[in-house]
Amino acid sequence: MDNGVVLCSQVYECQVLMPLSLAVNTTCVVLAGDHLQMKQRVFSSEARELNFDKSIVERMYSYYDNARTKHNSPLSSVPIVRLKHNYRNDARILQFLSATFYGGPDVLVSCSTQPSAPRHTPINFYAAFGTEVDMVFHHFICCCCCALLVLIMVLVK
């Protein structure tokens, strides 16, 4: 039996169609990811209008969540499993993310054992004002780049 686990929070349907088309009856595929994670930017307005800017996890979560609310749906008993333990982030960062995106400061639980950086708080907010510069394949704001560079130099010292 072929098995596959794919972390696909930022993967779009068009990116999983080819691998999934190779699946056979004995293939087991697990698509895992966070439907609230930042995703890739879709530049085509036509693609966005057709909802092609949703990741496969975001689309599937929405589909099953809607199907579960329908009383006679065969999918109404399909469980949606949400993992809440995080092993990478500082507890204070995770509390901010949990409160901002997940509906409360205690929804996500920090299990990180990483020591905090001395002399620095785990989360800081900075703002820079500038004009966007249009490059061939990307856009950037010069002031933001300079401000970020200064902050990195301070952290390195």
pLDDT in tens, 103-114: 898 999 999 887
Q: What is the pLDDT of residues 67-78, one digit of tens each?
A: 877 767 777 777
pLDDT > 90 in the chain, percent: 7
Exposure string (b/e) for 88-124, b if CB count within 10 Å is 16 or more? ebbbebbbebbeeebeeeeebebeeeeeeeeeeeeee
Task: Report pLDDT for 8.
Answer: 73
Tell me, rounded to whole angstroms, the distance of Cα 28 from its chain centroid. Answer: 24
Mean pLDDT value across residues 87-103: 88
Boundaries of every domain in the chain? 3-83, 85-123, 126-157
Q: What is the pLDDT of residues 11-21, one digit of tens each?
A: 888 888 888 88
Nearest C-alpha neighbor of 90 from the set 61, 124, 65, 133: 124
* pLDDT top residue among 44 and 13: 44
